[in-house]
Structure formats: C-alpha cells, structure tokens
Amino acid sequence: MPVLGTLDQLPALARGTAAELLVIAMPTANKAQMRRAVDLCESCHLPFRTVPRLEDVVAGRASFNELKEVAIEDLLGRDPVQLDWTAIRTQLAGQRVLITGGGGSIGAELCRQIARLGAESMTVFDMSEYNLYMIEQELRGAHPDLVFNAVLGDCTDAVACERVFASARPAIVFHAAAYKHVPLLQEQVREAFRNNVIGTEVVARAADRHGAGSFVLISTDKAVNPTSVMGACKRVAEIFCQNYASQSKTRFITVRFGNVLDSAGSVVPRFREQIRTGGPVTVTHPEITRYFMTIPEACQLILQAAVLGNGGEIFALDMGEPVRIRDLAEQMIRLAGKSSEGDIPIVYTGLRPGEKLFEELFHPHENYSDTTHAKIFLAQPRSMSWSILTAQLKQATAAVREYDEDTLRRVLVQLLPEFAAHERAPAAEVIPIGSRTA
C-alpha cells in the first residue's frame, strides 16, 4: 500500500481520500503518542478505531485482527512498567496464598496474576457471594490445576478468620478487603472502622498466629493527611500494620496508591454510564484532580513491593501526573463521538463531605526515599506507642459492639492529629482549595 504522508498530515489526507474510517495501527505507541493520534483523529470529525495494545495481545486478551474503539485506558494508562518477574515468581511460585477481598477489582486481578505465577494454592476470602462465585469460575476455567478455595465470610469475623487460616495455612496474605467509597462512609463511621481497621487487625493477628511469612496491606492515597472517615480508617490500619511488624515474625508491608481505572463504582464506569444515557456528566469541582493507574499495573507493582519489603514499610506507587477530572470527562465524551458543549453537558455538583480537591501520596513527615524500583517509593514509618495504640483499638472495638460512633470519631482524632482539624472544621473548610503542582 502506498504511504501517503505523516501523522501530522492526517486531516488533509483524510479529506483528500474521502476517508470514512480512521484506524490507529500503532500497537507499540506510548500514551503520549496515542493521545496525539487520537487528537488528530478527532480533528478530522471521522469515526476511528484502534488495533489492540501489544501487551493485550501478548497476554492473550486480544488478537491483532480486532478493531476496537479507543478506550480512556488507552490514553490515561501509562507505559508498561518493568518488573523483576524473576524475584516475584521466586517468592510466589509454589506458595500457599490467601487473598481477602479477592472478588473485588484489585483482589480479583491479584488472583489472576498470582495464579499465572504458579502458586501452590490460593484461598479467596470474600463477603460478596457474587464476586466470589465469579472469580472462582474464572480461575477454575483458566487454571484447572490450581488448588483453589473460595471461602465466603467477613474479615471482621475472628472465628471465620481463624478457621480460614487453620485450613489454608497461607505463607503470603494479601489483605485487599476494604470499604472504599468516601461519601458513603463519611456518615457511617462504625462500618468504616469495623471493616477497614478491625478487619485488618483480625486478619493480621491471624496471620501472625499461623506463621504467615508476609502480610501485604492494600492501602490508599486517601490515608495521607486524611480528610475523610474512609481515609482516616485506612491510615489507622497502616499504623497498626507498621507497628505490629515489630511484634511479629510476619513481614507486614503496606502498599499505597491512588485511583485505579475502571474499578467497581469508580469515576470511569460512572461517566461511561452517564454518557450512555445522554448525560449530564457530573463532576464535583472544575479543578478536582486524581491520580490514576490501570488495575493490572497496580497489581503488578503490589507484587513487586511485596518482594522488596522486609517488614514495617509503607510503599507508595508512582502514580504519574494527576489528571483533572473535568479533562477526563471531556475526553470520554469526545471518545463517544459527542461534544460537551452541545450533546452531553458537564454539571458541577460541589465537593462531597470528606472529599479532597487533590490527593497526596506521602505525608510531609514520612521522608520518602527511592527503592530499587523506579515506580515504587518508600515512606519512612512514623512510630507510635504500642500500648497506646492497642488501648485505643480495644476502646474502638467496644464502641463498634455498642454502635457508639461518637467514641469511634474520638479514637480517630486521638490517633490522627492531622485528621482532628478536619473533624473540628465546618464542612466548607474541610477541603484544601488550591492546585497541586505536578
């Protein structure tokens, strides 16, 4: 076929050839190149498709002869990370692995990757019957030789956890079970604390009693300078694991990262549904930003951090540049062949309780440092008196039993001085207004 010109000439060439469809055949393009190609395609006002990404073809998720619509993940996901797969496989192959919350977005992807790495057995502990059923069906079909156990239960149930650990005898535990929706949890302190803090403590203590070698806590950037109940509870879970590491032979490692693209209930599927139904697309604030990472990339870096950790660390993943949610909405509307000016309006609804204008990956006092992996940073732990911490958690456990949410808020304030200001402040003052420099 004759080559008619360069990418920059696309609009003129499309007009000159009376093109009806544009195909982006750049499977090895990085994200910046892909965004440029999409921008040029959009300027032609013609439908466009793309061949699959090379990593999707290699992983068996797509074939080269498929044409698909450009997804937001093609533009926001970042270039593939380079991992030490030899070290990861050495640590996981032939091991008994337990994953709590293994039916969720992150938990399920961890299951898939660990199964491919040759784990001896995998136990998934999840309180969602449907999610547990779906990941069980998927893994039994894809990995018929894997010893797989699906256990329905709640990680705050100490008796159930004891039974699971006694039966599975895991060498490695990935604790992904958590409640995550900030506005929903803001007025449900008991459930947030019960699941995100007490659930972590129950599973961590069971891991210690049953001699697990490693325990990996999946945390969030919302735990840094938390303004929300959800973030505060995840920060307390981090503190517990950091300090419990010195009391246990188990290696307790925390991995902290931001939003993942297309996770259940997150902004991308919500925008997609709003666009499908004709809008409007709702954004809380014109300047709100978030970090994004694809689910597979987040899970790969979790596995890498698990190999790096010796115990007591908090690893934060390099999330790249923050993305303005308004730009995300506009891009998704354009990818759907619509316009935000006439077809699908964007409506700003105001920041919700506990919601930040921008997220952070480190607290200023954590003095983060580089690791041997370019995409993973190490936050220096902030120690706390073990006796004070356990006394506060004992008080909180009693408050959960009695549904005493006032006491639970006091415990959060006492454990987290940085959260105290947000609890005292009126709602309008909770959110720090300003812009974050990349």
SS (H, E, C) 365-426: HHCCEECCCCCEEEECCCCCCHHHHHHHHHHHHHHHHCCCHHHHHHHHHHHCHHHHHHHHCC
Q: Of the candidates 334, 347, 293, 288, which has an alpha carbon nearest to the alpha carbon of residue 316?
A: 293
CB contact set of 204 (below 8 Å; sequence gap of 6+): 175, 215, 217, 240, 241, 244, 250, 252
Catalytic residue among 31, 68, 180, 222: 222
Q: What is the DSSP string of 17-80?
A: TT-S-EEE--TT--HHHHHHHHHHHHHTTS-EEEPPPHHHHHTTS--TT--BPPPHHHHHS-SP
Angle CA 349–350–353, to nearest 5 = 120
CA 371 to chain centre: 21
Q: Of the candidates 206, 197, 319, 201, which has an alpha carbon nearest to the alpha carbon of residue 255?
A: 319
Which residue is associated with the tokens 């159930």? 160
In the DSSP assignment, the letter for residue 361 is S
Tokens of 20: 């009806």
Q: Of the candidates 110, 214, 96, 218, which has an alpha carbon nearest to the alpha carbon of residue 166?
A: 96
394 an active-site residue? no
Answer whether 290's CB lies under 8 Å from 325's CB: yes
CB contact set of 437 (below 8 Å; sequence gap of 6+): none
Angle CA 171–172–178, to nearest 5 = 140
Report the DSSP beta bridge partners of residue 378: 315, 369
Which residue is associated with the tokens 């070290």? 87
* CB neighbour burial string for 200-225, b if at least 16 within 10 angstroms, e if fewer: bbbbbbbbbebebebbbbbbbbbbbb
Catalytic machinery residues: 222
